[in-house]
Structure 1
Amino acid sequence: MATTPPALVLLPEWGSGHLAPMLESCKRVLLHGGGRAFSITLLVMRPPTAEASSEVEEHVRREQAAFSGLEIGFHRLPAVDPPKDAVGVEEFIARYVAAHAPHVRDAVAGMARPVAALVLDMFAAPLVDVARGLGVPSYVFMSSTGALLALMLHLPVLRDADADGEEGDDAVMCVPGLPSPLPAAAVPGFVADRKSPNFEWFARLGERFADATGIIANTADELEPGPLAAVAEGACVPPGRPTPPVYPIGPVLSLGSSKKKDSSSEAPPKHECVAWLDAQPAASVVFLCFGSMGWFEPPQVAEICAALERSGHRFLWVLRGPPGDGGGAPDGSEHPTDADLDALLPEGFLERTKGRGLVWPTWAPQKEILARAAVGGFVTHGGWNSVLESLWHGVPMIPLPLYAEQHLNAFELVSVMGVAVAMEVDRDRDNFVEAAEMERALRVLMGGESEEGRKAREKAKEMMAVCRKAGEMGGSSYAALQRLSAALHYGAALPKK
């Protein structure tokens, strides 16, 4: 008689940048065992906005239609009341997720099959107590960088140093494994003020990371050797506190069969953006796209237009419009709308750039676009999934960070990995970039005579090879996946309370 495989129970945050890589990572665990070693149960929280709810439901429908024989189930959790006094988006999300603790406990305790582990989104780290109370191993899934993981684990050390008076009013932020001190421009906004309640909240969140059985990271040893080594060596946590084992199994991307290709190898039908790209010369187009929540006010749009027009380079720009009436969500997020190009773009811009530029006002297939041979550079908000997609295809970047940890990502891309050209962003003006500065960065990245641009392009190609080798048999991420699979099997065999 066939035995029932134990379940990996997943609790992702509802954003696509969290939900998709967590599910894809656990699919890898299933596939690593031939699809029979474990099953997956995804605990679905009701997001605090109708738009986010629609996105989650669409993602669930896609996954249900593409199980490919894997045993994946979905369990919708009861609704909870959102917090009304959170300081910032990140604290809102963490507290909203934590409010689901009793429902998560009931769902895990009521499962008909053994539970190998509870896999928690980074914002759900406090729910390690739920797993501990049930005698179930817990794993935090880190959907962002190893650098942010090192920082989060190190926040309690910085907090305690401040309390002991070891740091003055102008305290610098040093993160093990990264160049020190960390420039102020690279510090994520949600922990920039070390005297704020928000900093204390995230320091406590970092403490809960350290309480997990393990940490699954969507990165690779070769991508971020400094931060990951610092974490593994215990250099990030307070003295005497153990660090959970970290499993860097990335890059985890749902890429299908997409590869860098030329126009002759692509079968129809093509998205209009892809068809346009395939008519352009190799490495001649700069691609601009700023994530699912990235949009700009008209003054910034005008600066970007001026930079693109004056640079003379070909471009594909996914331009989103500002949120509609009531666009502000309870979690502080704002979702862009399809752009009204006549209202947003300067008069005559489309005519003057006709033939060498395409402005696309709605969603576009970013992964497929980055895979095209015509794309030679990527102006990006620097979200980690976008960065990994760009590195997978060897495309160098210009970061224009907008929110969350993206300023830290930009610093790492430019100053640590060397795969990007820096651009000066005015954080005091809502991350505003002047046209002259963007034009300079475009010329550096896309121009043939710039040493800085040449190095970024070369490093991006090197990182493409690193990303692909890491997941192959014998690669570092493949080995980490083996270790993770073994740990999960061991956890599933332990007697539960």
Structure 2
Amino acid sequence: MKRPAQLVFIPAPGAGHIVSTVEIAKQLVARDDQLFITILIMKLPFDKLFINTDPSISHRISFINLPESHIDTQGLAFPSFIKTFVQGHKTHVKDAVTKLLAESAQVELAGFVIDMFCTPMINVADEFQIPSYLFFTSSAASLGFSFHLQSLHDEQGKDVAEITGWDSELVVPSFINPVPAGVWPGVTRTKEGAIASIDFAARFRQTKGILINTFRELEPHALRSLSDGKIPPVYPVGPLLNLKSDDGHVGTDQSIQKSDILEWLDDQPPSSVVFLCFGSMGSFDEAQVKEIACALEQSGQRFLWSLRQPKPKGKMGMPSDYVDVKLVLPEGFLDRTARIGKVIGWAPQVAILAHPAVGGFVSHCGWNSTLESLWCGVPIATWPMYAEQQLNAFGLVKELGLGVEIKMDYKQDSEVVVSAEDIERGIRQVMEKDSDIRARVKEISEKSKKALTDGGSSYSSLGRFLDQI
């Protein structure tokens, strides 16, 4: 009889990373009744404490909130911040796993599954003499981009200044088209960021296998490029989505907001509403908000707009809901658009995308949001903000033909204001009724669901991973 085994997952802090970690944990325990999973949660100083509120999660999945590490990260750029933050949790992880082993002596520790930003934890796994696996929460194409930069530096001897200084295009094996410098992840455009990215990718190669939140039918070219024998085995196991992720508890503010939004959508014709939402970190200053408002009004398109207030300048934190959106919108905008539009704060994104009234999504192209939109069969108008979102947008528009461009190389902290004309054009394109893009998105939606069923590509890939552990 197979002996019970324990996997320890270490997601990066942040909703997007934790959500997909919980989803892969649910799939793994559903496939192997001798498997136990413990998820170690690191809390960002400005974030809420994680509380598991999903009663459907298996009793074989447990959560441990690690003690907060009070590390001075003030003024650090993201790569240094995340590395310092994760390094500061190594002792906490070691203590938690030691305690876990003492409490469950009958269960064999089979490995760590670490998030793409948690590579310092490979050292902790080594101390316990167990393998590390990587869980990559973005696209196969962007994973290939990371490996390519690292290969240019470590194998071809390009120095970092040369890599970050490129201002034309880069031929990357995981992309069919040359990748313009404008859509490289912002972090790779600085010396510090590029060094950190190269270091992360070098550590990825030290793992025993890479689980990735994508599926073969979506990224066939990128996945083929990752099977060159130079990197660990890759297991595409997506799309990993929590389709109930934004269900507020009945009677809570979020639950009331959600039912109000869905009731409004119930009154709109099928595929008639464009939904604008820019993720948990996405927000704009007043000048850009006015351009979006102007574009929506000029388009005459029905819309649902999640509008968030930026965090205070120079401080770490998350956007919040406005107390009064009228203060940032053009005068009279809400009255003039009352019959066709609704401006909201927080958005129950999955429920909105799944609603038959929604016909297009203006999105920041975060990978979870991209997969949710494709699952629901909703074409995307790309407006990336930060991280690898510009690469995702480039992939959707130029590689896969599943999205239209509003702005592909937008950066959240730049002074650029996207014009109402550009926004309106993107909205009109994404809402086109019988476009080729809409047909392709519908086809990939069906394939995404099939990938997870018995015999599907991701189902089989997850089986191969389970056989390996």
Normalised to the residue count of structure 2, the TM-score between the two structures is 0.90
Q: Which residue of 2 aligns with 1:263?
A: none
1:463 aligned to 2:458?
A: no
Residue pair 1:321, 1:340 contacting (<8 A) in 2 also = no
Distance 1:20 1:471 in 2: 17
Q: Provide structure 2 residue ranges, at least 5 long, that are not aligned to the other structure.
A: 247-255
Residue pair 2:112, 2:131 contacting (<8 A) in 1 also = yes
Moved more, 471-480 or 248-257: 248-257
Distance 1:440 1:166 in 2: 37
Over 3 Å counting, the alpha-carbon distance change for 1:166 and 1:345 in structure 2 is closer
What is the aligned-residue RMSD (CA, Å)?
A: 2.5
Distance 1:158 1:71 in 2: 43
Q: Which amino acid aligns with 2:429?
A: V
Distance 2:109 2:181 in 1: 43
1:205 aligned to 2:200?
A: yes
Q: Which residue of 2 aligns with 1:191?
A: 188
Q: CA deviation at 1:4?
A: 7.1
- Identify which of 208, 214, 217 aligns with 2:209: 214
Distance 1:442 1:422 in 2: 9
Q: Which residue of 2 aligns with 1:447?
A: 432
Residue pair 1:320, 1:339 contacting (<8 A) in 2 also = no
Q: Which residue of 2 aligns with 1:261?
A: none
Q: CA deviation at 1:465?
A: 1.1
Residue pair 1:289, 1:380 contacting (<8 A) in 2 also = yes
Q: Provide structure 1 residue ranges, at least 5 long, that are not aligned to the other structure.
A: 235-241, 259-267, 489-497
Over 3 Å counting, the alpha-carbon distance change for 1:155 and 1:167 in structure 2 is closer
Q: Which amino acid aligns with 1:92?
A: F
Q: Which amino acid aligns with 1:74?
A: F
Q: CA deviation at 1:99?
A: 2.2
Residue pair 1:139, 1:213 contacting (<8 A) in 2 also = yes
Q: Which residue of 2 aligns with 1:105?
A: 94
- Identify which of 317, 320, 323 aligns with 2:311: 323
Q: Deviations over 1:182-214 (max 9, x none)?
A: 112211100024xx1221111011000010111
- Identify which of 286, 310, 328 aligns with 2:298: 310
Q: Which residue of 2 aligns with 1:173?
A: 170
Residue pair 2:2, 2:34 contacting (<8 A) in 1 also = no
1:407 aligned to 2:390?
A: yes
Distance 2:333 2:6 in 1: 55
Q: CA deviation at 1:335?
A: 2.9
Q: Deviations over 1:459-492 (max 9, x none)?
A: 111110110111111111011010111112xxxx
Residue pair 2:293, 2:329 contacting (<8 A) in 1 also = yes
Q: Deviations over 1:55-113 (max 9, x none)?
A: x42xx3314x433x431222232332335477522431132112222322232233233
Q: CA deviation at 1:328?
A: 1.6
Q: Which amino acid aligns with 2:234?
A: V
- Give SS of 2:274's match: strand
What is the 5 A alignment of 1:270-281?
A: 271-281=259-269
- Identify which of 345, 357, 366 aligns with 2:329: 345
Distance 1:442 1:44 in 2: 38
Q: Which amino acid aligns with 1:228?
A: L
Distance 2:90 2:257 in 1: 46
Count of equivalent residues: 450
Q: Which residue of 1 aligns with 2:7?
A: 8
Q: CA deviation at 1:446?
A: 1.5
Residue pair 1:141, 1:215 contacting (<8 A) in 2 also = yes
Q: CA deviation at 1:168?
A: 10
- Identify which of 359, 365, 372 aligns with 1:389: 372
- Give SS of 1:62's match: coil
Q: Which residue of 1 aligns with 2:342?
A: 358
Q: Which amino acid aligns with 1:438?
A: I
Over 3 Å counting, the alpha-carbon distance change for 1:79 and 1:415 in structure 2 is same
Distance 1:174 1:88 in 2: 27
- Identify which of 429, 450, 459 aligns with 1:478: 459
- Give SS of 2:403's match: coil
User: Structure 1: which 4+ aligned runs deviate by more than 6 Å?
Assistant: 164-168
Q: CA deviation at 1:278?
A: 1.1
1:128 aligned to 2:113?
A: no
Residue pair 1:48, 1:82 contacting (<8 A) in 2 also = no
Q: Which residue of 2 aligns with 1:152?
A: 146
Residue pair 1:328, 1:334 contacting (<8 A) in 2 also = no
Q: Which residue of 2 aligns with 1:371?
A: 354
Identical-residue share of aligned pairs (%)? 40
Distance 1:169 1:21 in 2: 34
Distance 1:73 1:318 in 2: 33
What is the 5 A alignment of 1:25-44?
A: 25-33=24-32, 36-44=33-41
Normalised to the residue count of structure 1, the TM-score between the two structures is 0.85
Q: Which residue of 2 aligns with 1:80?
A: 69
Moved more, 315-324 or 349-358: 315-324
Q: Which amino acid aligns with 2:304?
A: L
Q: Which residue of 2 aligns with 1:21?
A: 20
1:295 aligned to 2:283?
A: yes
Over 3 Å counting, the alpha-carbon distance change for 1:400 and 1:209 in structure 2 is same
Residue pair 1:142, 1:217 contacting (<8 A) in 2 also = yes
Q: CA deviation at 1:350?
A: 0.9
Over 3 Å counting, the alpha-carbon distance change for 1:369 and 1:305 in structure 2 is same
Q: Deviations over 1:284-322 (max 9, x none)?
A: 110001111111111001000010000111001111112
Q: Which residue of 1 aligns with 2:250?
A: none
Distance 1:202 1:344 in 2: 37
Residue pair 2:406, 2:422 contacting (<8 A) in 1 also = yes
Distance 2:319 2:447 in 1: 34
What is the 5 A alignment of 1:222-233?
A: 222-233=217-228
Residue pair 1:294, 1:336 contacting (<8 A) in 2 also = no
Q: CA deviation at 1:371?
A: 0.5
Over 3 Å counting, the alpha-carbon distance change for 1:91 and 1:455 in structure 2 is farther
